Amino acid sequence: MTKNTLILIIDDDNRNIFALKMVLKSKGFDCIAANSVTEGIKLLEQYPETTLVLMDMMMPEIDGYEGISVIKDHEKTKKTPVIAVTAQAMLGDKEKCLAAGAADYISKPIDIDKLLHSIAKVLNDRT
């Protein structure tokens, strides 16, 4: 599952990026990161082999909902799955994230086992 898997983390909090990168790298994933959707889109263009995006939903300027829309509207990235990551975890959030185009949803604080299960599910759904 992890062979040749490049995960882009888009989150405005460097502590979240650091923690996710450490965990994912320890599980054999390659990771790149961006602090904004704009920066994330540039990385997707620079790294077309990106397998999956972990998108924080609550960010300033462009939020994750709009970010997913931008990724899905772009010809080169529209098939790249996005897992929505949010601290909100309010009733209806999961449905709203999925309706925006996310392949799956996970809430913060992130349960690593759930995250790894979600990544495996999303990647298996692609094949």
Check whether 30 has a pLDDT greater than 80.
yes
pLDDT at 57 (0 to 100): 92
CB hemisphere CA count around 99 (13 angstroms) = 5
List of E strands, the chain: 6-10, 30-34, 52-56, 82-86, 104-107
User: What mean pLDDT, rounded, does the chain reach?
Assistant: 90
Helix, strand, or coil (residue 53): strand
Domain regions of the chain by residue span: 6-126
pLDDT tens figures, 44-58: 999 999 999 999 998
Domain 6-126 belongs in CATH node 3.40.50.150: no
Specify the 3-state DSSP secondary structure of 13: coil
- Judging by beta carbons within 10 Å of its beta carbon (0-12, 13-18, 19+), is residue 75 exposed, middle or buried? exposed
pTM for the whole thing? Answer: 0.92
Peptide bond into 109 cis (omega under 30): yes
Portion of the chain with pLDDT greater than 90, in percent = 72
